[in-house]
Chains A and B, each alone.
Chain A
Amino acid sequence: MSRIIQPGGGGLVLPSPGMPAPGTGSEPVLLTASGVIQSSSGATLNTQALTNPLKVPIEIQEIRWQVSDPSEDNTVNGLSVACQLTYGPLALTNGYIPVWNFGRMYNQYEDFADYHEYRWRLQSPLFVAPGGLVEPKFQHLGLVKEALNVRISYLGRTVPKHRPKSIQVPYVAAYLSDSINVRAADATTESKETDLQNALDATIQVDRYVGRLNLYSLDEEEGTVTNTDHSALVFDVAQFLTLEMSDSDGYKNIMPDTLFWEAFNPQFRCWDVQHSLQAGGFYLVKLAYDGALISSLAEDVFGPSSIRASISMVGHREVKTS
């Protein structure tokens, strides 16, 4: 029930439905769970820890992931683990999404001494009823042979008990490119219609595209692997990577010969948009790479290295609850 409040400055403010009025006790909430995923395997975490334990609904405003390699032998990142999210019968993702493809990069503070953290600020908070669960499933993408630690956290707040007529539900789909040898000349790879697709039966509002680029390097003597997306080498290699993108309505969205960094700028790794994508609609991405200059270099500059792009569309849709 909304009530009229009178702020100190005078005048009457009628809170919108679902907004807690000041003083009604909206509390911050954090739910978290962690686990270990074996290489190239899937895993579920402790879902009880992620279930709304309160008698009032909560709104999830942000989801965070932490990834680390307990062996400390390798460097891992947000392409090492992918996550699938569902809320009851509602899909939040089109399959598994690399965990760095949900949100924008925030000032590059993602890499810490012993773990990597990725944040996703939801465009609209996700309403979770008492006892409700946003269930994550994880997939180790096999970039390293060691098992990885993963943690997921939901951050939000409590809201007054009510039953909204509709809720805003996020939706994310991703395309994970083939690996491209950094010495390859004239390599191309492209997505399928089912990758960046709205697989729902409703229109979604696409809010942004996120583009990440991973440089995978194998130290053959040590047998260790480095995955990085912001070393000097990545920036050097990326100048030879261009992309183009078109949508299912036949429009070109990214014109050919656009640099990867032009579309997904290094500061935020994203492109904010407003695009209505109808049910079944999709984007097609084509990546082109020419590493001819690199192939002229001595082997010890790059060693056996490959790049892999992951591009996602992040949006939301309205779901009627009654």
Chain B
Amino acid sequence: MRHPIIMSSYMNELPDTSVPAGMTYQPDMERLSNPYGLWSILTEIRFFVSFAAFFPDTPQPLPMGGYFSAKFTMGSFGITNQFVPLPMFCTQMEEQDENVYGFPAALLFGAQAGTGSYSMLRWKLPEPLLVPPLTPLHCTLRRDLADPDPAVSAEWPKVKIAYLGEQLTPDFQPPKMAKVPYVSYQASTSPIGAGLSLQSPFLVPLHVQRLVGTTSNTSLMRIRDTKGFDVVKDFTPQGAIFDIPRRAWTFNRVLQPNEAFTIYSQPAGSQVCLIGWREEQYS
């Protein structure tokens, strides 16, 4: 019999001084591993980002998810190609951003002045991930954005991560092959000529679930695959490719080994994420 499980990290405690962008943080992997030493199936990953600060005149820095990116590996299996900004894992509908009073800023600056922001993001994996007992899904988090003015910040962004899924019975025998999610993220400030390449790095087919992007209508984008097929033929506003309510384009496409989507943007600067899965050998 399977038993549901949620494993969550502690909230990280970054130092209360200016933290440079690029600093990495390692969640406590013991808390993100099955406590009984059982095989697990992960179906969702949830991120909780919190920031309490005092911003008297400036807009709130939403969404907070943009303050962090995450990299996942599981043993020798790559789950992400590099650090991926948290909002790029999920559609807009899986993200919630809130402005609130914020603690302890409220105590330092007065209840009405202290404000905070939370972003809660949910990545429902394209396929459940089978996790061996001694090889947990390893996560590294990275600060991406620089701090706001330290003079008005009471607390630095914090992040908490949770794995949701099921734990399998002690007598579970893993299959020979199982599906493993994959996320490929690319960002560039390159001009049109140098396109971004969302490539399948595997020797097996990569099943694409969706592309996640941004919804700016001032930035144009076209997409071509390595066979020369124009997926998006003309330069098109990103908001038309990644529709505004969802920030994503979900479709069904299989990339063969070394196939890729090439993204051209105009003006320069774009970020795109490919989410999919492939099969890997477990035993």
Chain A interface residues toward B at CB < 8 A: 107, 206, 209, 232-233, 235-236, 239, 247, 249, 251-255, 257-259, 261-263, 265-267, 271-276, 293-294, 296-298, 300-301
Contact = CB atoms under 8 A, between A and B. Distances in A.
B106 A297 contact: yes
Interface in B115-164: 116, 118, 120, 122, 160, 162, 164
Contact of A259 (B4, B36, B43, B160): B160
A236 B98 CA distance: 9
Given A249-B3, A267-B93, A273-B166, A236 B100 contact: yes
Nearest to A276: B1
Contact of A271 (B96, B98, B164): B164
B7 A255 contact: yes
A262 B103 contact: no
A113 to B, nearest CB: 23
A202 to B, nearest CB: 15
B96 A266 contact: yes
B100 A251 contact: no
Contact of B118 (A235, A252, A253): A235
Nearest to A206: B4
B5 A257 contact: no
25 contacts: A209-B4, A232-B99, A235-B98, A235-B100, A236-B100, A239-B118, A249-B1, A249-B3, A252-B35, A253-B5, A254-B5, A255-B7, A257-B10, A262-B6, A267-B93, A267-B94, A267-B95, A267-B120, A267-B122, A272-B43, A276-B2, A293-B104, A297-B111, A300-B111, A301-B101
Contacts, number: 100
Given A257-B10, A267-B93, 4 more contacts: A232-B101, A239-B103, A251-B3, A262-B6
Contacts of A274: 2, 166
Contacts of B31: 255
B102 interface: yes
A82 B99 CA distance: 31
B270 interface: no
Interface of B: 1-8, 10, 31, 35-36, 43, 46, 48, 50, 93-96, 98-104, 106-107, 111, 116, 118, 120, 122, 160, 162, 164, 166-167
Contact of A254 (B6, B10, B94, B95): B6
A88 B6 CA distance: 37
Nearest to A246: B3
B234 to A, nearest CB: 32
A38 B106 CA distance: 40
A135 to B, nearest CB: 31
A251 B104 contact: no
A265 B8 contact: no
A257 B96 CA distance: 21
B103 A236 contact: yes
Specify which of B3, B4, B48, B107 lies most central, judged by the most chain A CB atoms within 10 Å of its CB: B4
A253 B163 CA distance: 11
A239 B120 CA distance: 12
User: What 3 A-B pairs are tightest by C-beta distance, nearest first?
Assistant: A251-B3, A262-B162, A273-B4
A247 B167 CA distance: 13
Contacts of B10: 257
Contacts of B102: 236
B6 A258 contact: yes
A257 B8 contact: yes
Contacts of A275: 2-4, 166
B106 A262 contact: no
Nearest to A239: B50
A265 B107 contact: no
A273 B166 CA distance: 8
A267 B96 contact: yes
A236 B114 CA distance: 12
Given A253-B5, A267-B93, A259 B48 contact: yes
Contact of B107 (A262, A272, A296): A296
Given A233-B100, A265-B122, A293 B116 contact: no
